[in-house]
Every structure is written in structure tokens, then in C-alpha cells.
């Protein structure tokens, strides 16, 4: 599988290490070259230093041939733009985007873009745990 990861922060670099170790072809794009130092020696893919909102950078990463694009920058507007470029211009089969501000999830409504929000995941996990312990107002039924 050919994966392009945009943004090499805490999330992006960890995903890149994981996928590369599992034998996927991985290309990481980040604006700052210093971000690539977060990558571990497990990572054997390519790194591209540049702004992912520029088409030339996206083309350099061969986004048109990607099977999956994962967008993990810190800025939601960049995420939404890049993920939509990937989905609708280059028709990447699978686009996954990180949502920093949960309210912004509305941007991706009615699109084929898969969204993941760290905040929501945190809340879900917490809810699940509390429900398992059966404490307070939360119980097993409220999980459904």
C-alpha cells in the first residue's frame, strides 16, 4: 500500500513509523525539516520538506498514485483543504483526517473523508471506562 502522510507531528510521525515497520510504502510531508527528527529508525520511507497546500509538493509525493492519505497537521483549515484535494482532485481511495477542533467535524459532513478526532476518542474512551465501572450517571446501557 502506498501511503502519504501530511504533517509529521506527534501523531503523523508515530503513524509513519508504524506503517513503515509493517512494510508499507510511506511518504511523509512536513513544512519544517526538523519535524522529521521525530521519526524512529524503523521508518524507511521518504520525507518531503514543503508546504502540503502547494500542488507541486503534493505532486512530488505522487499523491495521485496513493492508496491512502492521512492528514494530521495542527491546523484544521489546512487539513480540510488538503484532504479534499486528495479526495476530489486526485481521487485517493482512502482519506483519513485528524480533527483538532471537534466543532470543525461539520466540514466533512456528506463527504467520503474519514475523520478522527483525538478529543472525541478521548471522551469515548473515558465514557467507556466509567460505564464499565458503573459509576455515576453512566452505565452499560448509556454506551449504545
Report yes or no: 98 and 117 within 8 Å, Cβ to Cβ. yes
Residue 20 vs 72, nearer CB to another protein: 20
Give the nearest distance from C-beta 102 to another protein in angstroms.
Answer: 32
Residue 58 vs 107, nearer CB to another protein: 58
- Residue 52: count other Cβ atoms within 10 Å of its Cβ: 26
**Residues numbered 14-73 forming contacts with another protein, rule: CB under 8 A:** 20-21, 23-27, 40-46, 60
Compute how many residues bind another protein; rule: CB under 8 A. 16
Report yes or no: 39 and 47 within 8 Å, Cβ to Cβ. yes
Q: Print the binding letters for residues 95-114 with another protein: x by CB under 8 A, - otherwise.
A: --------------------
Give the nearest distance from C-beta 1 to another protein in angstroms.
Answer: 10
Q: What secondary structure does DSSP assign to 90-113, as a single string?
A: S--SEEEEE-SSGGGGGGGTTSS-
Give the nearest distance from C-beta 41 to another protein in angstroms.
Answer: 4
Query: Is 13 one of the binding residues for another protein (CB under 8 A)?
Result: no
Give the nearest distance from C-beta 85 to another protein in angstroms.
Answer: 20
Sign of the dihedral through C-alpha 9, 69, 121, 75: positive
Contacts of residue 43, Cβ cutoff 8 Å, sequence gap at least 6: 13, 16, 17, 20, 21, 26, 28
Give the nearest distance from C-beta 117 to another protein in angstroms.
Answer: 28
Q: What is the DSSP letter of 17?
A: H
Interacting residues toward another protein by CB under 8 A: 2, 20-21, 23-27, 40-46, 60
Amino acid at each position: 500500500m502506498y501511503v502519504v502522510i501530511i504533517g509529521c507531528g506527534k501523531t503523523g510521525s508515530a503513524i509513519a513509523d508504524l506503517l513503515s515497520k509493517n512494510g508499507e510504502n510511506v511518504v511523509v510531508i512536513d513544512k519544517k525539516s526538523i519535524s522529521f527528527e521525530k521519526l524512529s529508525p524503523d521508518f524507511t520511507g521518504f520525507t518531503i520538506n514543503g508546504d502540503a497546500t502547494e500542488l507541486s509538493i503534493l505532486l512530488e509525493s505522487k499523491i495521485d498514485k496513493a492508496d491512502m492519505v492521512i492528514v494530521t497537521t495542527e491546523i484544521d483549515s489546512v487539513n480540510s483543504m488538503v484532504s479534499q484535494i486528495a479526495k476530489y482532485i486526485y481521487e485517493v481511495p482512502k482519506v483519513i483526517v485528524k480533527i483538532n477542533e471537534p466543532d470543525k467535524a461539520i466540514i466533512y459532513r456528506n463527504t467520503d473523508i474519514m475523520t478522527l478526532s483525538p478529543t472525541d476518542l478521548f471522551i469515548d474512551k473515558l465514557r467507556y471506562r466509567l460505564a464499565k465501572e458503573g459509576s455515576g450517571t453512566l452505565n452499560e446501557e448509556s454506551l449504545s
